[in-house]
Structure 1
């Protein structure tokens, strides 16, 4: 059984509810509150069942006020639903099986949770008579019939639609199922990663059903630190270290389940399915989706074999990838179509409401970066285009709605690597390297980047993912030109090691200045380093040799129709001399979506989407 893994929704709840709600001049009844799940949130339903999963004897309840007696809560006192009810300004919900749940008590809500249950029906079978999730949802429908008889069907529907719902389930599917005994049926059926995916798919069905029967505001908690339960170690009969290694998968559970609700079920606003939030992209070739196709520049990816795996066309699109790039994959994860390049003639009408990609291969933070590519869209010009875009959208939907679209949008910016590769280290004794020693150059870059981000904020961006540089010295191009015996180029690695931490600190300073988490530091360098240092762990045969190219490590020159081309792009971490393969991009986006604070600071994108869905 688990503990609540994140209290962010509760903090939001506090700020909303402390003020109080006044309706038509009369103090409103607190919104109803419904609870589903396991022993972490059971208020006593199991007291009425013939089961061993009960907490109805001392010393349970020793600190429960005012009685100091057991209530069926698996706690010395209040549990999580009690404390949420207090913050709502409401009395605690009664167990659904309690005979006291009648009359006006029904309007407070109800607690359907039952200790011992899980997402799966075969979880907790040793407890025999418990209220499994499908039955909790049936009880919820019974409850609605009872309330309809009390206040009428229309008001009952409103009560449920406007209610707050908490669901806490999943921990038992590990503790009291997969790891209950050695070689359990489920552990023989599924390796752990596949079991987690199966749980998520089954949880999605439960959440869909919960939505179908009226829930519209649902707090979904993940599992807690399961490895800290001493009883688990006895059941698992394996050292704690091995359990801890499995937690990397388990700790994504909370964000994945919340995301299932927000993205897979969909958000319904005023009876109309909500459009996915707009998405804007700024930066260089790592995120350019084709703007440079419309420019007279050598920094282009509009000829084969670029796009060989891009679906459905399998043709070059201007992306510096064999297939999808990072913006494409983020768009897929937020349930949206890919943003079009801003220079594309197709970007008009309702396509504008999806967002736009302003990125341009070859550019950097500084205007003199990538001068050899001549005609590219430098950062100041990308921001000017963003303002032009807003004028176009204002003409389409009005200034007020255009402002809301931009303020609520997701923004990605990826820039900085070229300021080293195509500026400071472009040639020996470059102008910038003569002007600044490396540490001072990095500080200069950070100060200039801060100005760009301030400008981005000034023109409306409020949720911005900011990526650092990758392992600059480990890309095939640098291995071929500067590396020794297959080792990463030391100076470029030093540059990345100086740049990324200072970037993260600068973002935290900006957030403190604005009083909110506008800028999210995406440590894509760490994600990249994971598969560069241990490619086999991620299914690659190499992280040194590019799939497409020529010369040592396929790291010299451009990827062209005459280049060496690997037959299986899934086995290569790098597509060309500089850019990750689609598979590597997927791994990076996985960390953006659900990575820990080491990868995403202060929170990952799944958490952002969940919190924004609650607060907007």
Structure 2
């Protein structure tokens, strides 16, 4: 009797049949067959683990509340994209850079997000390797080539049209570019208004590129109030309050993204674009913390100089004991508890004024 090891072609055929069956199940069993994630460290699930980057967190105490421990998520536990997957009935998409992310593992979607990555290619370069948004779109095209080997044209079109693209990016273009004048010339070259417009124009190109290859459902998150994160507070003369000048410069980007969403919905009637008001949702959490179960909003749970949270949590540092009461995990990122509230408010909360549905309602279309 000839075993599989002696007939490698048979193994390949059976594997391909299994993958196609998985795709067909995904298409037939739920409204959203897959979620494709583009963004930065807010939604990175471990891509930077495989890059030559200083922007990594695959060590304790990161993941202290995550099943299996440190994973490359910049949190004590789950991040926003994990929670979105739970709500949509999808597994959290695997990291693109993981060599095992191939075949059947890509059926439910892929996560391309990269810590330190931004809309501009140069953003975050001082951290080493990262996937900028343009590279993330190219990485998606590599995934698309794999999907073309699994599905015929009609099935692939239905699969992509039913999938959701979640895009959470832009924060690093400020905190790891514009607000670092000693490393980047952007603040000398552009006014805050011109810089925000530059980002929106570059962002629009990548959104349209993804739309042109078949994705039809987009959730585009705005930038939260960066002037309130511990990193920016620590740089201020008044760390006990948010840096208003930083928050004000984000207005051009967020208003531009809101306008872009309106324009995209008008010009692409076969697609759906939703603006996620993360600025407003996060602002409400910070202004009314007790309403959401939080008591600490002005410093990080983990990081040297915890009272100001001026740097990211270093390996094996002991974090605060009660992460449920803290909004910020480290100098840049939210705790699992705060991410949960933000997801409910910005992604599943009241529909935005740019499109009269939220992401859960979009998933049903």
Q: By the TM > 0.5 criterion, same fold?
A: yes
- 2:49 alignment counterpart: 293
* Conservation of the 8 A alpha-carbon contact between 2:88 and 2:360: no
- 1:486 alignment counterpart: 240
2:362 aligned with 1:608: yes
Distance 2:356 2:77 in 1: 30
Classify 1:575/1:599 alpha carbon distance in 2 versus 1 (closer, same or farther; 3 Å).
farther
| CA RMSD in angstroms, aligned pairs only | 2.0
**TM-score when normalising by structure 1:** 0.53
Give the alignment partner of residue 532 of structure 1, picking from 282, 286, 301: 286
Which digits, 9 at most, give the CA deviation of each residue in 1:391-447, with x for residues without a partner? 111212334323321221011001111111111111358411111111111111111
Question: 1:298 offset after TM fit, Å?
Answer: 0.3
Within 5 A, what are the aligned runs for 1:496-515? 496-515=250-269
- 1:417 alignment counterpart: 171
SS class of match (2:118) = coil
- Misfit runs of 4+, over 6 Å: none
Question: 1:509 offset after TM fit, Å?
Answer: 0.8
Distance 2:192 2:325 in 1: 35
* Conservation of the 8 A alpha-carbon contact between 1:289 and 1:357: yes
Classify 1:355/1:598 alpha carbon distance in 2 versus 1 (closer, same or farther; 3 Å).
closer
Distance 1:325 1:549 in 2: 18
Alignment length (residue pairs): 340
Give the alignment partner of residue 111 of structure 2, picking from 357, 381, 387: 357
Classify 1:418/1:519 alpha carbon distance in 2 versus 1 (closer, same or farther; 3 Å).
same
* Conservation of the 8 A alpha-carbon contact between 1:523 and 1:600: no
The structure with more radius of gyration: 1
* Conservation of the 8 A alpha-carbon contact between 1:541 and 1:571: yes
Question: Using CA pairs below 8 Å that are at least 6 residues apart, which structure has the higher relative contact order?
Answer: 2
Distance 2:308 2:150 in 1: 47
* Conservation of the 8 A alpha-carbon contact between 2:328 and 2:334: yes
- 2:157 alignment counterpart: 403
* Conservation of the 8 A alpha-carbon contact between 1:478 and 1:555: no
Question: 1:459 offset after TM fit, Å?
Answer: 2.1
Distance 2:36 2:284 in 1: 27
- 1:325 alignment counterpart: 79
Give the alignment partner of residue 348 of structure 1, picking from 102, 126, 140: 102
Is there any run of 5+ residues in structure 2 with no aligned partner, and where?
Answer: 1-24
* Conservation of the 8 A alpha-carbon contact between 2:258 and 2:354: no
- 2:65 alignment counterpart: 309
2:129 aligned with 1:386: no
Distance 1:543 1:484 in 2: 15
* Conservation of the 8 A alpha-carbon contact between 1:277 and 1:354: yes
Within 5 A, what are the aligned runs for 1:544-555? 544-551=298-305, 553-555=307-309
Within 5 A, what are the aligned runs for 1:156-171? none
